[in-house]
């Protein structure tokens, strides 16, 4: 790759402009109407962050173009590609070298346009910012154009001028909502002609296609067409895809958006890993985006270290069948169960099913079969058209998988793997295999799965520091390529292990990246997808994971990366580049470290981590000092005293009844205040702590507070009961030392001590708790939990009082549901962290919706409580709505107050969709409180009747036990909801509301209502619902500053 030509950009020869006689599409500017109306505090901070530091030094001044040997196309397809791209095939590789001066005197203004194509990826706005600043740097009078809603905006002439005011409203922000994206392709001769007509009419010198492999292939075709027809518009691209499958090292080391998406998913996987450790009863099976490549799954596995990660490329190489994968997972689950671990985390890519041999053949034939107009997407029609082998595989699949395989194709004519619930398919086959082993006597454990599919929430998040910088550099590179009169290139930025100022920039001919693939039954040029490399020069990430995965099967070595950070000065990990990229560029993988041997304590595994085995972010958080009120800063019992303030009382009409249970219903309210003068410190105190409630961020910092203060009491200790209330009954205790608590400061969940059930119910349990306190000599017992736990605290305190026990009982309000708030308690531990974590996901998803402009997101939010047929609170949903401003919030309390029927609720949502459609907005975000169904009168009755029936019970045995009205309602429900209502109960015998897909029911019914309105002409828009449940991803998140201190 020796230099062929060196010339400054300012001397690039101008391209001829050939005007067209007629203009079919629109060629006038549209009015810009998409500015954001509100920003969060973090968005404002990121908007104000300067992009200057992101500009590589080589692009400052007047960079020179260095032409190098052309990169050869794939040898097998070279001649075919040459014929498809006769004028751009021999384009050389180019790199920029530092130039002298700024070249401004010899430059003329240029007009450059940009289009966002395909799915969203974080950082796209910074690519646009880099282009904008780049063309303005080229000449202050240069202009920037933005095509709206993807390539469709090019050939229809839908465009706006991007001004500095518009641009400054989107710097360093996520999503593609500045211009909107689309999956249209410029394919027909008419579309190519119209695209050229638009570019000629507005005098474009250049066009940047921000997209993935298909979009940039389309850009290469456009560059070829323009050059062949004498159009002056040059076309270049920027490599975008969160899947990480658009790269050509060393020139295109990575696609933008991959880092942010992976870090977003890794945050969520880390959270559910902590959840798994806290409850120790679930396998969390996580499906991640990534159709044709497992790059995301591998990156997230390296960041989080799950117990298993299935790599599609490995499955394909080894020709592993569904049975092979099932046995492999079942072996791991059985081995973990023998070790007392009936929990874990499993990751798989959404495209896994395509790599399984029998499914690959089936889906390939399905794609070709459904491309034929004569074949209907019905099971009968498909089975008649499929080959015998594939028909046999199709019939073997569960009903829900068969239905998902027949959904509408994606824009390339392929099965929409994002809608195939592979995780549920695997759970079903694993369950069958484990039950076979149970019958044979080799397996005695419990396998309960929780399912997660992470995708949309990662596509439009606020870009990481790396993505923000990389994208800006890509944009600036693209601007310089176009200013130099170059066409058919993909912007290249490399040397990414170095600081941004030292990054190297240039361009790679898109034709050199192309191969021939079969699409919609035809051979077409496409950029080769970069799959996970299992061997060769770029196999380091796979090799690093392969080296540790056998240990991870049994070891709980989860790495918790925590939320994305933007403090470049204070937090070192904020500037990390993707782990796979680090390894490919020569960095060494971190060793697993030393983990303590797990100890079986009752039904719980206790294996406390040291601070050294924590993630870098966790260690950084643990170093943060807690902020406390001034009189507690000494952390000394002697420095405070308890003061009685006033008597309290319960509601007057309840006093007589409550008096039957409690001897003192007018106990005084107390508060702590600074102690004046000398005071003797209590000695030899022994305090026990129980995590009684459900998981919530901040509980470990509560332990730190107890331990730090009790250190001021000579000969005093704090012990924790391992396994929650069961640990209390069974006397499973560990001493909580300052060193142990320090390792858990700033960490989420309840993993240090764990939890089981959240109730002290019977007299036998109360007596067991009393005996434990007596035998251990506890002077105090702290129960941490929500409303139920603190109610139990009152009963336990009363019981101890009657029995003459000297153990003092104290409750602590904790719970993400936030329903402990009253005139005396301003907040519950964990509410702030959980709502912020949920709000981030809701915000990301809402931005994704306003970028694609075609989906309605129905997001059900966990409330944390387990109330069954009793209406639960919606505090979390309300707080998240206040933070994110969705289009609609369905509150349990409001529905109950209005006594709304299901029909009324559906009509209210449908009315909103119709109103938005009239403004051309066929997208939106709807938040659904988890307990919503319990507020609907007819559903409350049904749920109450079902809860009276032991579960699991077959549907045919349930129906006769229901009243006439409840039976009719139950039978009218979709199949999925009927099966969910009959699932196994929670520990308190209540229905598992977290398993009831209320959002899916609403979307199903709203879709039906809108179709009905369409037949009457009352609705003329489109409605494409996407449903998601947000809960487990947030309740064990890293605690906020507030929760750490509170």
| Both tokens assigned to 365 | 């034939």
Separation CA 484–CA 494 (nearest Å): 20
Separation CA 153–CA 26 (nearest Å): 10
Cα-to-chain-centroid distance, residue 890 = 22
DSSP 779: S
* Secondary structure (3-state) at 684: coil
Q: Is 571 exposed, middle or buried (0-12, 13-18, 19+ CB in 10 A)?
A: middle
Runs of H (alpha helix) within 104-257: 124-138, 152-156, 164-168, 189-201, 213-228
Nearest one of 116, 219, 87, 181 to 514, comparing CA atoms: 219
Nearest one of 802, 753, 746 to 782, comparing CA atoms: 753
Residue appearing with tokens 């945050």: 267
Separation CA 833–CA 820 (nearest Å): 16
Separation CA 561–CA 614 (nearest Å): 9
Give strand pairing partners of 641: 673
Nearest one of 311, 294, 297, 309 to 344, comparing CA atoms: 309
Cα-to-chain-centroid distance, residue 290 = 13
Helices 465-483 and 258-279 pack at an angle, to 10 degrees, of 170
Beta strand pairing status for 522-527 and 143-147?
unpaired
Q: Which residues contact 1008 (CB under 8 A, 6 or more apart)?
A: none
| Both tokens assigned to 748 | 């989420």
E-state strands within 696-797:
717-721, 733-735, 780-785
Residue appearing with tokens 């102690």: 675
Catalytic residue among 243, 275, 342, 556: 243
245 is catalytic: no
Separation CA 617–CA 816 (nearest Å): 23
Q: Which residues contact 123 (CB under 8 A, 6 or more apart)?
A: 174, 256, 257, 260, 463, 467, 468, 470, 471
* Secondary structure (3-state) at 81: helix
- Count Cα atoms within 13 angstroms, Cβ side, for 217: 21
CB 666 within 8 A of CB 834: no
Separation CA 321–CA 249 (nearest Å): 32
E-state strands within 796-847:
808-813
Runs of H (alpha helix) within 305-421: 312-318, 322-338, 352-355, 357-370, 379-385, 388-396, 399-405
Alpha carbon distances (Å) from 809 to 284, 786, 790, 798, 813? 35, 15, 10, 9, 14
- Rama region for 724: left / alpha / beta (φ>0; ψ in -120 to 50; rest): left
Complete DSSP assignment for 538-571: T-HHHHHHHHHHHHHHH--------S----TTT-
Residue appearing with tokens 């764990």: 754
Angle CA 815–286–1029, to nearest 5: 50
* Secondary structure (3-state) at 1020: coil
Alpha carbon distances (Å) from 355 to 245, 359, 361, 398, 963? 16, 7, 9, 19, 49
* Secondary structure (3-state) at 673: strand
> Where is 1003: in which H helix or E strand?
helix 998-1015
Question: Where in the sequence numbering do the catalytic residues fall?
Answer: 243
């Amino acid at each position: 790759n020796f230099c062929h030509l060196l010339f400054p950009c300012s001397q690039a020869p101008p391209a001829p402009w050939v005007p067209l006689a007629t203009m079919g599409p629109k060629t006038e500017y549209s009015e810009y109407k998409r500015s954001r109306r509100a920003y969060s505090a973090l968005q404002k901070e990121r908007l104000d962050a300067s992009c200057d530091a992101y500009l590589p030094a080589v692009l400052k001044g007047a960079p020179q173009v260095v032409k190098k040997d052309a990169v050869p196309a794939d040898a097998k397809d070279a001649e075919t590609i040459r014929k498809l791209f006769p004028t751009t095939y021999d384009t050389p590789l180019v790199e920029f070298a530092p130039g002298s001066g700024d070249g401004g005197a010899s430059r003329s203004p240029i007009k450059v346009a940009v289009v966002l194509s395909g799915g969203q990826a974080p950082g796209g706005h910074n690519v646009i910012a880099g282009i904008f600043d780049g063309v303005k740097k080229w000449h202050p009078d240069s202009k920037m154009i933005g095509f709206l809603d993807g390539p469709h905006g090019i050939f229809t002439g839908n465009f706006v001028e991007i001004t500095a005011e518009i641009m400054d409203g989107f710097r360093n922000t996520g999503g593609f909502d500045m211009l909107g994206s689309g999956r249209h392709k410029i394919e027909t001769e008419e579309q190519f002609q119209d695209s050229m007509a638009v570019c000629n009419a507005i005098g474009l010198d250049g066009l940047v296609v921000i997209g993935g492999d298909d979009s940039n292939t389309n850009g290469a075709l456009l560059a070829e067409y323009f050059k062949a027809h004498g159009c002056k518009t040059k076309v270049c691209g920027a490599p975008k895809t969160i899947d990480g499958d658009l790269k050509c090292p060393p020139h295109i080391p990575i696609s933008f958006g991959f880092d942010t998406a992976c870090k977003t998913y890794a945050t969520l996987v880390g959270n559910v890993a902590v959840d798994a450790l806290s409850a120790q009863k679930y396998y969390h099976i996580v499906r991640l985006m990534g159709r044709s490549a497992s790059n995301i799954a591998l990156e997230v596995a390296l960041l989080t270290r799950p117990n298993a990660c299935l790599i599609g490329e490995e499955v394909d190489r080894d020709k592993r069948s569904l049975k092979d994968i099932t046995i492999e997972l079942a072996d791991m689950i059985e081995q973990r169960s023998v070790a007392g671990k009936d929990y874990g985390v499993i990751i798989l890519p959404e495209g896994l099913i395509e790599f399984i041999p029998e499914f690959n053949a089936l889906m390939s034939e399905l794609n070709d079969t459904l491309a034929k107009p004569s074949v209907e997407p019905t099971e009968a029609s498909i089975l008649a058209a499929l080959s015998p082998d594939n028909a046999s595989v199709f019939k073997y699949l569960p009903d829900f998988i068969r239905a998902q395989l027949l959904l509408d194709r994606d824009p390339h004519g392929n099965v929409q793997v994002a809608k195939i619930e592979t995780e549920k398919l695997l759970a079903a086959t694993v369950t069958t295999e484990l039950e076979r082993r149970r019958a044979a006597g080799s397996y005695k454990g419990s396998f309960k799965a929780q399912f997660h599919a992470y995708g949309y929430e990662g596509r439009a998040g606020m870009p990481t520091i790396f993505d923000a910088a990389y994208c800006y550099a890509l944009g600036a590179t693209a601007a310089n390529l176009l200013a130099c009169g170059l066409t058919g290139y993909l912007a290249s930025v490399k040397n990414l292990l170095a600081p941004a100022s030292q990054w190297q920039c240039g361009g790679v001919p898109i034709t050199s990246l192309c191969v021939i693939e079969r699409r919609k039954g035809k051979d077409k040029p496409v950029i080769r997808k970069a799959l996970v490399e299992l061997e060769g020069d770029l196999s380091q990430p796979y090799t690093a994971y392969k080296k540790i995965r056998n240990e991870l099967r049994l070891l709980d070595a989860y790495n918790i990366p925590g939320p994305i950070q933007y403090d470049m000065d204070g937090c070192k990990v904020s500037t990390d580049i993707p782990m796979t990229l680090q390894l490919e560029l020569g960095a060494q993988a971190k060793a697993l470290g030393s983990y303590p041997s797990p100890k079986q304590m009752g039904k719980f595994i206790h294996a406390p981590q040291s601070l050294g085995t924590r993630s870098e972010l966790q260690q950084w958080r643990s170093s943060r000092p807690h902020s406390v009120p001034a009189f507690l800063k000494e952390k000394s019992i002697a420095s405070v005293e308890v003061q009685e303030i006033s008597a309290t009382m319960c509601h007057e009409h309840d006093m007589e009844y409550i008096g039957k249970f409690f001897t003192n219903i007018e106990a005084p309210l107390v508060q702590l205040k600074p102690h004046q003068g000398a005071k003797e410190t209590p000695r030899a105190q022994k305090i026990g702590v129980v995590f009684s409630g459900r998981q919530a961020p901040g509980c470990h910092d509560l332990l730190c507070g107890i331990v730090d203060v009790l250190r001021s009491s000579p000969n005093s200790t704090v012990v924790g009961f391992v396994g929650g209330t069961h640990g209390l009954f069974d006397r499973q205790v560990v001493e909580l030392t300052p060193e142990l608590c320090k390792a858990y400061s700033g960490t989420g969940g309840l993993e240090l001590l764990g939890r089981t059930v959240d109730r002290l119910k019977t007299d036998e349990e109360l007596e067991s708790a009393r005996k434990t306190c007596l035998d251990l000599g506890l002077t105090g017992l702290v129960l941490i939990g929500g409303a139920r736990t603190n109610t139990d605290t009152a009963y336990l305190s009363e019981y101890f009082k009657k029995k003459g026990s000297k153990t003092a009982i104290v409750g602590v309000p904790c719970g993400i549901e936030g329903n402990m708030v009253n005139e005396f308690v301003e907040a519950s531990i964990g509410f702030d962290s959980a709502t912020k974590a949920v709000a981030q996901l809701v915000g990301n998803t809402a931005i994704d919706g306003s970028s694609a402009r075609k989906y309605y997101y129905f997001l059900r939010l966990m409330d944390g409580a387990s109330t069954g047929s009793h209406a639960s609170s919606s505090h979390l949903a309300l707080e998240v709505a206040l933070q994110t401003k969705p289009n609609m919030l369905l509150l349990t309390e409001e529905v109950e107050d209005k006594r709304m029927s299901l029909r009324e609720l559906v009509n209210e949502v449908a009315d909103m969709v119709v109103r938005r459609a009239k403004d051309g907005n066929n997208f939106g975000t709807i938040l659904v409180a988890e307990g919503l169904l319990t507020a609907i009168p007819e559903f409350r009755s049904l749920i109450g009747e079902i809860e009276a029936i032991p579960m699991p019970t077959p549907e045919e045995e349930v129906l006769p036990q229901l009243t006439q009205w409840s039976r009719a309602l139950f039978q009218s429900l979709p199949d999925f909801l009927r099966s969910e209502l009959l699932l196994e109960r929670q520990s308190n015998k209540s229905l598992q509301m977290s398993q009831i897909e209320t959002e899916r029911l609403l979307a199903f019914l709203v879709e039906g209502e809108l179709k009905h309105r369409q037949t009457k002409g009352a609705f003329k828009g489109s409605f494409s619902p996407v449903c998601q449940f947000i809960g487990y991803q947030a309740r064990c998140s890293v605690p906020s500053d507030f929760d750490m201190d509170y």
